[in-house]
Each structure stands twice: as C-alpha cells, then as structure tokens.
Structure 1
Amino acid sequence: MATEAHGEEGGLVFHPLDQFIVKPLFGEAGDAVHWYTITNVTLWMALAVIAIVALFVFGSRGRAIVPTRTQSIGEILYGFTYKMVEDVAGKDAVKFFPYIMTLFMFILFANYLGLLPMSFATTSHIAVTAVLALAVFLTVTIVGFVKNGAKFLGLFWVSSAPLALRPILAIIELISYFVRPVSHSIRLGGNIMAGHAVMKVFAGFAAVAAISPFAVVSITAIYGLEVLVAGVQAYVFTILTCVYLHDALHPSH
C-alpha cells in the first residue's frame, strides 16, 4: 500500500497522492509522457479490456444450458444492465444498450482492478473519467437533436412553471446541462481517488507501532468500503447516462 520514509528529524513522511502519478511503462520514471507514450494507465486500461473479453468471450463461449460460474456472472451483468437501460431510459433506448453496457463494464472492471495490490486506479484520473463523461454528453446531445430537432430545446423550457419564471429557469437548466460532464466525471474520479488516498494514509500510520493495530483495522474496513464504492460508482455513472439518454429521447418537461 503505502511507502513511508522518515524525515531528517525522525518524523513519519508519506505521500498518498504519489500512487496517482502517470509513469512511462518503459524507461525512467522522470521521462516525458507524450500522447503516444505507453504508461501505467495504458497498461491497466488494457487489462480491464482483456478481463472483460475473457469474461464475455472466453468465459461464455460454451453457451451451456446449465451455465458455468463465469457464464452466470456474465449473464447476470448483461441482464442487470439491460434492465437498467429499459427501466430508466425507456424501451426505445435499448438500441443504445451495447454502448451503455461497454461503459458500465469498463468502469466496473477498472475500479476493481485498481483495488489490487501494486495496481493503478485508472478511473481515479479525471483525464480518463472526463473522456468517458464527454463522450456521453456529446452522444446524448447529438441523439437529442437528431431525434427531436428543435424540440430538443424543450428540455430547457419548463412549461409547467409560471410564465415569468420560465426564462430564469431556462438559463438554470442550460447551465446545469453543460455542467453535466463536469459533475459526471468528477463524481467518479473524486470518489475513487479519495478512497485510495485514505487507504494509503492509514497504511503509512501502520508503520507506527503504537497505532499500527488501529491502522490495520481501519485499512481493512476502508478496503471493504472501497469494494462497495467501486461497484456503486460504476452503477451511478451508468444510471446517470441512462437518465441523460432519457432526457434526449423525451425532452419535454
């Protein structure tokens, strides 16, 4: 977990945010990182994709009537996501199920792989979550205008409100709409980063003999909480995507 060092005066020093540093996979740690550089982020995102392929392609290729454990997990995740899309966004949103399923599985696997020792939590980086959120924002906006044309602007016009308040509410709705990708990305990245940082802080305290039992118990409890958070945050990101898609398909207030 944490690597600690003692300062010149003997105090305990540790850096909980060092675990989020992007480093080249090949070469020295201080080397420049370019857009084409293969980094620790690249590695763990690739491992997430490989794990998903292993589950759904190799784990379910038998298509047994009595499914294996691996096939059962794949079927449960498939059914869970399909039901979420259908219930939240509507039956006409099922055509977007492959995209939403891909989002959910990538975030879920990236979150859980980030909990392995010596791993890298890719979803703790806003650069990663912002791309995912921006892709959702652009997809939803394009779908909204393609399907509804100018009627999509009805999303910002609260027709049930008093006429005098409608322009003010329209401005508020417009601002909140463009803030969506920001909140969408920060919610996921911030929760994953915070959990990992707290674990590393308590891991640093484990080096102090007087409080090490408390620190170990705390790490265990926080790790258990992070296992729950990893799944919940993948679910929250996905269900918000479904809500935004529903708004695009049915924009009227």
Structure 2
Amino acid sequence: MATEANGAEESGLVFHPMDQFIVSPLGGDGPVQWFTFTNAALWTSLSVAAVFLLLVVGTSKRSVIPGRMQSVAELAYGFIYKMVEDICGKEGVKYFPYVMTLFMFIVFSNFLGLIPTAFTPTSHFAVTIPLALSVFLGVTILGFVKNGASFLGMFWVSSAPLALRPALAIIELISYFVRPVSHSVRLAGSMMAGHAVIKVFAGFAALTLVSPVAILGITAMYGLEVLVSFIQAYVFTILTCVYLKDALHPHH
C-alpha cells in the first residue's frame, strides 16, 4: 500500500481539492484563535471593500453621462430594486438597502473567490449560515411586528379541506424552519463543489497524457463557475425577497 501511495505521489496524482477551503492564519501555520487574522478574514474584508468602492466611491462623482463604475453600480441598483419591487410590492422597497447589501456582498465574495489562490468566503457555512439566519430571524420578527398573531395564519391552509389543515400546518411549519438550512447550504455547497472540481482538473493538468483534456475541463468549469457565482447570489437574493413578501403579506 505504501509503495502504491509513493508511486501515485511521484506520478503527480496526489492532490487535495478541499485544501483550498482550509481557514489558516496569514503568514504562519499556528492555531486559529478568535483574534487571528486569517485568509477568510482577508477575502471577506476585500469583498466588503469592493462593494464600498463600487457603490460609494464609484458613484461619488455622479454625472449625467456615467462612467464605467457608475454604470455598473446603477445597473446593479436598478436590477435589485426592480426585483424587490416586483416580488414584495411598494411596501417592500423600504427594505431594499438590506437586500442590496446582501446581493452585493455575496456576488463579490463569489467572484473574488475565482481568482487563483484566492479564498471564497461563501464556500463556508460560517458565512452562509449567519447570512441565512439574519434573513430568517429578520423576516420572522418583521412578520410578527407587522401582522401580530395573524402572521401565524400563513401556516394555516384555509383553502384545503378542514380535515387536512392540521397536517398541512405541521408540514408548513417544518418547511418554514428548514428555510435557513436550505438557504445557506445551497450557496455554500454550490461554491464548494465547483471550486473542488476545478482543483481536480488542475491536478490532472500536470500529467502530460491527459493535460489537454484537463485544461479544457478547467476552462469549461471556470466559465460555468462564473455563471454559478452570479446565479447563486441571485437565488439567495430572490429567496430573501420571497421570504420578505411572506412576512409583509402572510395571507397571500
């Protein structure tokens, strides 16, 4: 067994696609403490800085004929604003800043993670679970504040036969509490899986025989990951809007 492992190592077949997701201290290999500045903290900070540069610095000198950064910022603004308005109605527009912040942070975290040797914050549940929980708790509190006890009416399917309503209420309740799980797992799982596959192809690219095929695979997967990075940010945001609509209009 040891001989086989050594042979595989010499042939370049030994690679670890999950190593890219390890949280490690910058400039050292020591243990990670609560105060340690890690690769995850660095790339999360860069994502926040990128959002600030685009939306604040890029639009600080607004003009009738927009520059590149202003055009991108206005496009993102209009895209998310229309999403919130279409799904939640005029009443939901007041929550647009929160939804916009979520989308921009996730999309920048996803795209910056595509840079070689970068770290993808959204591939970790430590990032996606707090994001999903903030949405879940936020819309739940908002639902009770706006509607009081009548917010619970969203679990009671009044259009169903009376005999089925208690069972459907339990199903609806379970479905509601599963929301933060599916919301967070979908984003982290998608980002982790795509990056791991790219790393696998990269490991095979070192072998002369399959190198052209591996390089083609990397190119195809990288293109797909660019698309997935945007789609997952969009899906997370649109689900946030749907949950927000349920809190504002529980009986619809």
TM-score band, normalised by shorter chain: over 0.9
For residues 1-253 of structure 1, the aligned pairs below 5 Å read 7-11=5-9, 12-26=13-27, 28-29=28-29, 31-253=30-252
* In 2, Cα distance between equivalents of 1:67 and 1:10: 56
* In 2, Cα distance between equivalents of 1:96 and 1:55: 20
* In 1, Cα distance between equivalents of 2:8 and 2:193: 27
* In 2, Cα distance between equivalents of 1:153 and 1:161: 16
Letter in 2 for 1:8: N
Q: Aligned residues, how many?
A: 246
* 1:198 shift after superposition: 0.2
* In 1, Cα distance between equivalents of 2:215 and 2:202: 7
* In 1, Cα distance between equivalents of 2:66 and 2:51: 18
* 1:82 shift after superposition: 0.3
- The C-alpha deviation readout for 1:152-211, integer Å capped at 9, x for no partner, is 001100000000000000000000000000000000000000000000000001111111
* In 2, Cα distance between equivalents of 1:154 and 1:91: 22
* In 2, Cα distance between equivalents of 1:145 and 1:36: 37
Letter in 1 for 2:17: P
* In 2, Cα distance between equivalents of 1:34 and 1:95: 39
Alignment partner, residue 3 of structure 1:
none
* In 2, Cα distance between equivalents of 1:140 and 1:59: 31
* In 1, Cα distance between equivalents of 2:130 and 2:36: 18
Q: Provide the TM-score with structure 1 as the length reference.
A: 0.95
* In 1, Cα distance between equivalents of 2:37 and 2:121: 14
Letter in 2 for 1:21: I
List, as ranges, runs of 4+ consecutive aligned residues in structure 1 with deviation greater than 3 Å.
none
* 1:58 shift after superposition: 1.5
* In 1, Cα distance between equivalents of 2:172 and 2:223: 38
* 1:127 shift after superposition: 1.0
Letter in 1 for 2:196: A
Aligned-pair Cα RMSD in Å: 1.1
Consecutive unaligned residues in structure 1, runs of 5 or more: 1-5
Letter in 1 for 2:60: R
1:60 alignment partner, SS class: coil
Give the percent of matched residue pairs that are identical in Structure 1 and Structure 2: 67
* 1:7 shift after superposition: 4.2
Q: Provide the TM-score with structure 2 as the length reference.
A: 0.95
* 1:77 shift after superposition: 0.2
Letter in 1 for 2:16: H
* 1:61 shift after superposition: 1.2
Letter in 2 for 1:157: W
* 1:38 shift after superposition: 1.2
* In 2, Cα distance between equivalents of 1:239 and 1:40: 29
* In 1, Cα distance between equivalents of 2:128 and 2:163: 38
* In 1, Cα distance between equivalents of 2:133 and 2:183: 9
* 1:56 shift after superposition: 1.3
* In 2, Cα distance between equivalents of 1:243 and 1:9: 54
Consecutive unaligned residues in structure 2, runs of 5 or more: none
* In 2, Cα distance between equivalents of 1:53 and 1:249: 29
Letter in 1 for 2:6: E
Letter in 1 for 2:191: I
